[in-house]
Structure formats: C-alpha cells, structure tokens
Amino acid sequence: MSYKELKREVFEANLELQRRNLVIYTFGNVSQVDRDKGVVAIKPSGVSYDDMKPEDIVIVDLDNTIVEGTMRPSSDTKTHTHLYRAFESIGGVTHTHSTYATAWAQAKQSIPCLGTTHADYVHGEITCTRELTDEQVNGDYEEETGVQITDAYVDRDPKAAPMVIVAGHAPFTWGKDAAQSVYHAALLEEIARMAYLTRTLDPNTAPLKQAVLDKHYLRKHGKDAYYGQSK
Ligand SMILES: O=C(CO)[C@@H](O)[C@H](O)COP(=O)(O)O
C-alpha cells in the first residue's frame, strides 16, 4: 500500500469516529500500521475532524520518528506505536473519549460481561488497566500508558479482547486495520452503555455464565479466528 493510500484509509477511519458520535472537537485518534514498511499513519494533533484532510495524516516509524508529514502527530502516538510493537497481530488502533466507556475508565472499573451482546465480541471482561504510578506519569507518559495496557494482557490474547479502558483516562481499541479498530470502539461504547444501565437497574447483576459466554464468543470467532468480520 502506498503512503497516499495508507493516509486515505486512516483519514476515513478518523472521520468515522465523528460519524459514530464517539468524539467531539479534536478528541481521540486513529492509526494504522504498514508492517512491511515499518511505518504508522496517525491523525495529526489538535486538528478538528471538520478541518482534517487526507494529506494531514502523519507517517511515523515505530520509534515515533516522523517519516512524512508537516503536522505534529497525535499526542497519543507513543501509545499507539507501543501497542503495535507489543501486539504483532494488530493492524489498527483507536483511542476515543466516548462517554460511557470513559465513565467506566474514570470509575477505574473493568466492564464485566453481563450479556451476550458483550460476549459476541469480547471473550471475558473488558479490562480497566491499573492507574499509572507517579513515576510513570512523570516519565514518558504516553509510552507508559501503552505499558499499562500491555501489562494487562500478559496472559491474554489481544484478539480475544480488542478493547481496553485506561484507568482515569479513556478507551483504546484495536483490530486488523484502522476501520476495524473504530468498529470495536463503537461496539465498546454500546457495551459500556448497556453495562452501565444494567447495573443501574440492578447493582448486583451477575456476570454471564461462562458456558453462555463461550458459546457466543466461540460460535462467532472460533479459537483462531482473526477478529471475525468487521462490518
Ligand atoms: O487522550 C487525549 C487527551 O486526554 C487525546 O486523545 C486528545 O483527546 C486528542 O489528542 P490529539 O490526538 O489531538 O493529540
């Protein structure tokens, strides 16, 4: 894929964030990796979705050095590239501040699997990371945010749970490409909203039985399916 084609795909994926009401103003960002070229295309920092153009998308390498582009890459670039280096199966990353998923992140609570809608897409809870330590916050903050995410996946397949919420911050999702990472961000927001409303109706709602969770997840994705369909 040429840089121009990669930028176009990432540009369209970023616009989809706004179309799905997952962001306002300049919140959030989407990227996609080209592993053959060793580069990542990502949203420029601080640019509103209404003003953004395909040529504004910035190309960086996996060490965060700008390869092509005149604008500053997203402030979350180091988190994106950390995930690409750690999770070799992923091709796209999305970060939003969508309302319900961010509320669970601010409450520092993982989202339990309370129903089959959740189970169709995530094989278990949607994990909330540990809070960053003061040392991490005062260090390379964006890189350390990525570390908190990958630390939560030491014993977990990122394909089986392509969405996470960062304590005190907001969600990150991923997928086989930028478009699918946005699709997972939209699914996360809906699942987070359902879970919030469920627990509002009954704070003691028990998680879905494991047999039902397994049935729903595995019939859709199988054990080795690569994320399943994305539309
Ligand atoms: O997480 C944050 C801010 O907390 C970011 O997602 C901003 O909401 C968008 O930053 P840029 O991508 O425009 O630098």
pLDDT tens for each residue of 28-63:
999 999 999 999 999 999 999 999 999 999 999 999
Average pLDDT, the chain: 96
The protein residue with its alpha carbon nearest to ligand 1, atom 12, reads: 74
Per-residue confidence (pLDDT) for residue 230, from 0 to 100: 45
Decide if 161 contacts 118 (C-beta within 8 A): no
- Give the position, in ligand 1's atom list, of the atom nearest the Cα of 42: 12
Q: Which residue has the tokens 């580069």?
A: 39
- Active-site residue set: 120, 227
Domain boundaries, the chain: 3-221
Q: What is the pLDDT of residues 175-225, one digit of tens each?
A: 999 999 999 999 999 999 999 999 999 999 999 999 999 999 999 988 765
β strands within the chain, DSSP E: 29-34, 39-42, 58-61, 66-68, 92-95, 163-165, 171-175
CATH for 3-221, options being 3.40.50.10490, 3.30.565.10, 3.40.225.10, 1.10.1060.10: 3.40.225.10
What pLDDT digit, counting tens, does each position of 133-187 carry?
999 999 999 999 999 999 999 999 999 999 999 999 999 999 999 999 999 999 9
Model confidence at 128, pLDDT cuts 50, 70, 90, reads very high
How far, in Å, is the centroid of ligand 1 from the Cα of 25?
10
Residues in CB range of 231: below 8 A, 6 or more apart:
183
Nearest atom, ligand 1, residue 26 CA: 13
Predicted TM-score (pTM) of this structure: 0.96
